[in-house]
Structure 1
Amino acid sequence: MQLNDLLRAVDVDPKKTLVLRHRPSEASFRKALPLLAGERLDLFEAYQSYQGEQVEQAFNKRRDGWLASFIEYETGKAVFVGIYRVNGATTISPEEFWARPEQSELTALGNPGWREDEGRDTRLLFDLERTEHYEDWRGKLVIGWPLVRIWYRRAYETPLPVIAIREDSVFAGEIPSWDQVDYSWAELKILPTRMKSALEQWRGIYLIWDESDGAAYVGSAYGNANILGRWTGYAATGHGGNKLLRKRDPSRFRFSILQRVSPDMDRDDVIRLEASWKLRLHTRSGFGLNEN
């Protein structure tokens, strides 16, 4: 079975359809994109509504056509995000682009936005209307993608085989081992539901590391919502009420777990472990971010 067979089955004409496989060149944004497709589809669609000049021209020829949207999934594969109707486009300036509120969130996740070296005075903002076609297969439908550095295809010109329909969505995210957790501040806001559930169960000692100068803060999490509760607070404010963190730019913070403990460990024992980590990592010193 080919992707074109699926398109025809829902009256989407392959001759009027562009197939787009997103693969951002920026590593941090490439990591974030599947999370956006799963948790913040509004941001994903804001990102998708702008394209590089080459794809923009291809889009512009299909203002009354369709977009089949995918994200790179392993080598030679792509995973389905959705089918969109292209309802035209609006010309915007750099000032209008940067004034859009979602762009600041995308930039924080690693999307460069409108680069000065593009040499363009205007861009097209496409009106992409998400349809319900194959909605249940979002993050599950996997197609083959040619091993060439081309990120868009005209559907009718390219046979793209259906490789698999997964039981679970790629966008749900994998739960890493607790000692492999490493999130930026911006990523805390788009954690997959599955990861949130794990963090809600995990209690222990965590580290906030400022990558701008290497200063670190050690904290502990116990009780209601455990680590998720603490990190949700940081995601909202950037500082979680901590005086020394207030003075810093949270966009440079990274969050990891130093030690996971038993879910029924007594509060006093967790605090004792926290103090031990502060001592060993010297986070109460002049270069640390713990006041006590």
Structure 2
Amino acid sequence: MVHLYLSDLLTRCHYNDNRTLLIRHSLKHERFIKAYRDGFLREYTQKQLPHFYDAYDHVIVFSADEGTTAKYLTSYEVRHGASPLVAPDCSPFLLEPYKGEIMHPLFKIQRDPLQPYENKLYIEWGKAAVRWYQKGTNEKIITQLVNTGQFVFPGYESVLLTFQELKQIIDNPQLYADWHFALSAINAIYAITDCSNGKIYIGSSYNKNGLLGRWSEYALTINGGNLAFEQLGQQNPNAHLQFQYTILKVLPKDITALEAIEVENNFKRKLQTIQFGYNHN
């Protein structure tokens, strides 16, 4: 059987194998999971021991997948001599001292030819999975290239989204056409849980654009017009990064506002979100 190797793709994309480093982040590392979830993958990746990237111009980042496979996430260029860039809202835990590591100058690549393969390309990392970083010259078989022209909607009962995921869905209607269709086809009672403290907000949608219309407001404004979330955002601008969105009950598309609010109030009483959550009334 003839295999296609990662090195073949790198050559076509004009990457120098000798100056390229491959990194496979482990899903067992809580720091990686938190950084990836909150949108700080670059900051997490660039924090390494001194001189870690000295011999490289590019860094290709994967996450561990089933067995010894790895999923391609993104690539960075090493700008030797430049000052490291850290997002102003970077999670505090990434800025804390950690095992003598320092921030290195990693930057997103403009017009990166590998960008179309992000979250679609899978490789066999090899049996030495404990070697979480390896040279680009090491042969890696491409095991799968997923056609993710559209992301399939998993079903209403399976919807469980972070704010970053919600915004990704709302901002990319072509990639998430299935999601847009499904969310716009219903109204719903939904919950927003603050995973930092367990507090819950119960809301409902009852408009012609369905749940998609309501959740689009959160993606656009973060607080969605909710006073409690607005006040929380004033205290902590990153509070929404801890939010989790889910559907509690599917409602008919033609439900009236009074009917939806009645069901919403019933859930508020059951979960006591006025007394202990983010609902004010």
Q: Normalised by the shorter chain, which TM-score bucket?
A: 0.7 to 0.9
In 1: Cα distance, 2:15 partner to 2:197 partner: 52
1:130-153 C-alpha deviation (Å, 9 max, x unpaired): 454344433322210124222211
Once the 2 structures are TM-superposed, how far is the Cα of residue 24 of structure 1 from its aligned partner? 5.9
1:51 pairs with one of 30, 39, 47: 47
Equivalent positions of 1:281-292 (< 5 A) are 281-284=271-274, 286-292=275-281
In 2: Cα distance, 1:223 partner to 1:210 partner: 25
Partner of 2:125: 145
Partner of 1:240: 224
**Pair 1:223-2:207 in alignment:** yes
* 2:153/2:179 contact within 8 Å kept: no
Once the 2 structures are TM-superposed, how far is the Cα of residue 84 of structure 1 from its aligned partner? 5.0
1:88-116 C-alpha deviation (Å, 9 max, x unpaired): 24245xxx74xx32xx1x52xxx832222
Equivalent positions of 1:195-206 (< 5 A) are 197=180, 198-206=182-190
Q: Secondary structure at the match of 2:266?
A: helix
In 2: Cα distance, 1:85 partner to 1:47 partner: 13
Which structure's residues are more often helix, by fraction? 1
For structure 1, the 5+ residue unaligned runs are: 37-42
Partner of 1:61: 55
Identity %: 24
**Pair 1:181-2:165 in alignment:** no
Counterpart AA for 1:242: N
**Pair 1:133-2:113 in alignment:** yes
**Pair 1:3-2:6 in alignment:** yes
RMSD: 3.6
Once the 2 structures are TM-superposed, how far is the Cα of residue 223 of structure 1 from its aligned partner? 1.2
2:66 pairs with one of 74, 80, 89: 74
Once the 2 structures are TM-superposed, how far is the Cα of residue 159 of structure 1 from its aligned partner? 1.8
CA 1:34–1:15: 2 relative to 1, 3 Å = farther
For structure 2, the 5+ residue unaligned runs are: none
Q: Give the alignment's TM-score, normalised by structure 2.
A: 0.74
1:168 pairs with one of 138, 144, 148: 148
Partner of 1:13: 16
Once the 2 structures are TM-superposed, how far is the Cα of residue 204 of structure 1 from its aligned partner? 0.7
Q: How many equivalent residue pairs?
A: 265
CA 1:289–1:138: 2 relative to 1, 3 Å = closer
Once the 2 structures are TM-superposed, how far is the Cα of residue 26 of structure 1 from its aligned partner? 4.9
**Pair 1:280-2:264 in alignment:** no
Partner of 2:98: 117
